[in-house]
Amino acid sequence: MIESYPGGPLLVITGPTASGKTRLALAVAEKFGGTIINSDSMQVYRELRVVTARPSAAEETRVPHKLYGILPATERYSAGRWREMAVQEIEAVWRAKRLPIVVGGTGLYIKALLSGLSELPGVPEDIRSAARATYYAIGAGAFHARLASVDPEAAARLPETDTQRILRAYEIYLATGKSLSDWHREAPVTEPMSADVQTVLLAPPREGLYARCNDRFDRMMARGALDEVAALVARVLDPSLPAMKALGVPELAAHLAGKMTLKAAEEKAKQATRNFAKRQMTWFRNQIEKPDVILAQYSERNKDEIFSKIFSRY
């Protein structure tokens, strides 16, 4: 299957949180000699295995996994930095004559790989200050709605807890009169990845997806998510760090600080996860042009049919 590089085969498995990407990727990698490359912006943090539903240590021994748990929670990450690392990993996988399988739900990372990245303009300090003043005056929810009115695509992929990126998107609009999403559509500074790309989108029905979000959070709690967040909180990190805003972290941290009961924190985290999954599906519908394969779900019962769909062109 793997004949050459660059331009070799590249399988991309994406979809909303809790849609079953990890299970599908493992099955494909084991069947076809693949190496799994992470494209989830939170699963890069080594301290957050449980709360981000990162593949378990046992799963990581079944096939090679790359770009998981590679950074401390004290670091910030970007789509550009991820793309550079991912390209290096993909090319290394081709050299090993294996199939690179990029897996994750961070749509901007997928787009950076497949479409390239655009250069963004600078933002004057007075505009940045004005945006922050507005944010703190009206609150996260209202500010997120304001961003949605000028850049619905960015708002769809960014949760309202992601203060840094929401502010950045709004600042770009204030400074230029053009949305961040429009800037990303401009001529890219980096070229699209040279590969024979096959894109698989997992798109479960909404109600089923929401139930899976709830169930997965319960399983995270049973595996020790609260202890994991407690260890993170004990380090007294900058609350603006991306790792501190991972789904479930703000809510469980609030419980640990005595601001809400554990039950309330769990329900709030589940709601945040469902909201995020909804925004992801909106983003994928608008940004992933004609996925090669769209699946409602993956299961052992239909895996042969799914494999035939994915590999019909190779």
Indicate the domain borders of the chain.
9-117+188-310, 125-185
Q: What is the pLDDT of residue 195?
A: 92
Q: What is the mean pLDDT of the chain?
A: 91
Tell me which CATH code domain 125-185 carries. 1.10.20.140
Task: Indicate the range of 3-7, 100-104, 193-197, 273-277 predicted with least confidence.
Answer: 3-7
Edge-to-edge strands, sheet with 293-295: 65-66, 34-38, 99-103, 9-14, 196-202, 293-295
pLDDT tens track for 238-270 = 888 899 999 999 999 999 999 999 999 999 999
The pLDDT of 108-115, averaged and rounded, is: 90
The pLDDT of 26-32, averaged and rounded, is: 94
Spatial CA neighbour of 150 closest among 171, 133, 135, 132 = 171
The secondary structure of 72-103 as a DSSP string is -TT----HHHHHHHHHHHHHHHHHTT-EEEEE
Question: In 3-state terms, what secondary structure has residue 229?
Answer: helix
Q: Are 142 and 215 in contact (CB under 8 A)?
A: no
Distance, CA of 281 to CA of 287 (rounded, Å): 10
Question: In 3-state terms, what secondary structure has residue 140?
Answer: helix
Return the CATH superfamily for domain 9-117+188-310.
P-loop containing nucleotide triphosphate hydrolases (3.40.50.300)
Tell whether the model's pLDDT for residue 10 goes beyond 70.
yes
3-state helix, strand, coil in the chain (%, to 5): 55, 10, 35
Q: What is the pLDDT of residue 69?
A: 97
For residue 6, what pLDDT band results from cuts at 50, 70 and 90? low
Question: In 3-state terms, what secondary structure has residue 218?
Answer: helix
Tell whether the model's pLDDT for residue 200 goes beyond 80.
yes
